[in-house]
Structure 1
Amino acid sequence: MSKQLLIERDGAVVTITLNLPEARNPISDNAMVDAIVDALQAADGDPSVRAVILTGAGSAFSSGGDLSKMKPGLGLRGEQPVATVRNYRDGIQRLPLAFQQIEVPVIAAVNGPAIGAGCDLACMCDIRIASQAARFAESFVRVGLVPGDGGAWLLPRVIGWPRATELALTGRMIDAAAALDWGLVTKVVEPGELMPAVRALADEIAANPPRAVRLTKRLLREAQDASLGTVLNLSAALQAVVHETRDHEEAVDAFLERRKPTFTGN
């Protein structure tokens, strides 16, 4: 297990915790990127995992990039621009691609500040629930940078173009209440209620037929950039797959027999 992460399995739910609280959980180092990508792929590769929770240890969700490593030759910044481009492609830009490729649902439990790449990390997840202590900022411009981790693609798809533009061009921080109002998160709870609330949502998702859940997420992801005709064709193809599952038959039988279904993932 990587020292950058804590990974816990409880039933069908895996919780991944960014575990560098003394540094406020930065995600720009390759070791952290590797750890997150490996953890996501491992969860996705296990059909018995039905949901993933992502959160941060300590008071922050994630501070994003490590400002102490932004001098030439340190962290993502190379000695030459061409090296910097390569560092981003081989480093932090692997995160949004990993989140996009997996089918297991990921819920962000935003326990505290999610700043810069930390805000974008939350946007990579499928659903976000925030503690009242959470804060969000697409703050790259304030340190003379652009969103190098995919934030320009992610944030507008979560909160819409005008508000994403406002946050990205001002670098302004918003609180959890504003994040809820803008649709950045779906729920805000007291700090002590965050993990129970997120776990309740994960359990609600996990109670559904696993294959249908994963393929529904895949369909939603693909629909972000596809035409209606393409989405309809893909929907029909995936529907043909799930129609043949035992879980679909169990769901129909349980409904007709007025009983609670038991899903096995088959």
Structure 2
Amino acid sequence: MRLHDLRHPALTLAAAFDGYRVEIDPVRQRADLVLCRPPFNVISMPQREQLRITFEALEADEAVRVIVVRAEGEHFSGGSDIRGFLQATPEHVSRLAWNVAAPARCSKPVVTAARGYCFGVGFELSLACDFRLVTPTTLYALPEQKLGQIPGSGGSARLQKMVGITRTKDIVMRSRRIPGPQAANWGVASACVPDRELEAATDALVDELRRFSPLAQRAAKKLLNDTEDSPLSIAIELEGHCYSRLRSSDDFRNGVEAFQDKRKPNFVGT
């Protein structure tokens, strides 16, 4: 078999990003995925696959420590390109949740900053991220019931883990819109900040995350994701194994010595 005989979804994608762009700041070790299909930043079917592949590429980029998902304009995303669902095959639709879960699988911290509409797949993409920053203008919603459908990219499942079955039924079965302050009170959003401060709050969170050990960040994210459904005894056992592995890292030694010397540590990720 020759290389060009191989088939992969990446080979069928357009050369240009569909509905978003990627900005990399090597000085701040930060990559931004910016949704840019105004006015509602609708997410197309091809875009979902591109986003997954982009996350996988950023995962492999050692210059990137933190990833931010944000959007141009007044709204994060109004959701999917509805017509795309009618044109997609059942096999294609079955992969949607895998594509949207790319931020969760990524070992690096992923922050999403949303104002305005954050509906459907836009909300599901946010739920797959590690930190969600919102403003009073933000509206979270899973409106699929209005189309005779249910969320198909992990939205109801992730939400139920966060807020329980009663609130999830209220949001999903009634297509309710949840404002940013309420989302923060319920623990769906990490923080709700004034609209004019969203970018500054995002910058501050990125800089804070960059100060920690890359090894410890990866270990914490994987441990928390892997033990979300585990019994307490299993979670504690896995936590102990992760702790013991980090015990022999250069970053841990650096952190202990910096604490003793009353200086800032210089974590390098080894």
Q: Distance in 1 between matches of 2:257 and 2:123?
A: 43
Tell me which amino acid in the other structure corresponds to 1:15. Answer: D
Q: Structure 1: where are the runs of 5+ without partners?
A: 70-74
Partner of 1:142: 146
Distance in 2 separating the partners of 1:242 and 1:61: 37
Matched-pair contact (CA < 8 Å) for 1:5–1:35: no
Partner SS, residue 2 of structure 1: coil
TM-score by length of 2: 0.87
CA contact (8 A) 2:104 2:130 kept: no
Per the alignment, residue 76 of structure 1 pairs with 85
Instruction: Tell me whether 1:194 sits opposite 2:194 in the alignment.
Output: no
Structure-1 separation of matches of 2:178 and 2:81: 21
Is the partner of 2:173 in helix, strand or coil? Answer: helix
CA displacement, residues 20-74 of structure 1 (integer Å, 9 cap, x when unaligned): 124x1222412x112211221122222332211111122211111123x1xxxxx
Is residue 12 of structure 1 aligned with residue 29 of structure 2? yes
- Match for 1:202: what amino acid? V
Which residue is equivalent to 1:72?
none
CA distance in 2, matches of 1:247, 1:77: 51
Q: Does 1:180 align with 2:195?
A: no
| Matched residue, 2:164 | 160
Match of 2:55 among 27, 31, 40: 40
CA contact (8 A) 2:134 2:193 kept: yes
Contact 1:4 1:35 in 2 (8 A): no
Offset at residue 3 of structure 1 (A) = 4.3
Match of 1:26 in 2: 42
More moved, 243-252 vs 154-163 = 154-163
1:110-149 Cα offsets, whole Å, 9 max, x none, are 1221012222121111111112221111111112111111
Would you say the 8 A contact 2:123–2:141 is kept in 1? Answer: yes
The amino acid of 1:94's aligned partner reads W
Q: Give yes or no for the alignment of 1:86 onto 2:101.
A: no
Partners of 1:215 and 1:225 in 2: CA distance = 17
- CA positional deviation for 1:229: 3.1
1:233 Cα offset (Å)? 3.0
* Counterparts of 1:35 and 1:48, CA distance in 2: 20
Provide the residue aligned with 2:73 in structure 1: 58
Paired residues, number: 253
Task: Return 5+ residue gaps in structure 2 as ranges.
Answer: 1-15
In structure 2, C-alpha distance between the alignment counterparts of 1:150 and 1:162, rounded to whole Å: 17
User: How far is the alpha carbon of 1:180 from its aligned partner?
Assistant: 1.9
Is the CA contact 1:76–1:87 (under 8 Å) kept in the aligned structure 2?
no
CA distance, structure 2, for counterparts of residue 156 and residue 6 of structure 1: 31
Does the Cα contact within 8 Å between 2:19 and 2:43 map onto a contact in 1?
Answer: no
Identical aligned pairs, as a percentage?
Answer: 28
Separation in 1, partners of 2:198, 2:220: 26
Partner of 1:252: 256
Choose the corresponding residue for 1:211, options 215, 228, 233: 215
Q: Which has the higher contact order (CA 8 A, sep 6+)?
A: 1
CA RMSD between the two structures:
1.7
Q: Secondary structure of the residue that 1:77 maps to in structure 2? A: helix
Per the normalisation by structure 1, the TM-score is 0.89
SS in 1 for 2:101: helix
Deviations 1:163-194 (A, max 9, x none): 11110011011222222222221222222211
- CA contact 1:21–1:56 (8 Å) conserved in 2: no
Contact 2:101/2:128 (CA < 8 Å) preserved in 1? no
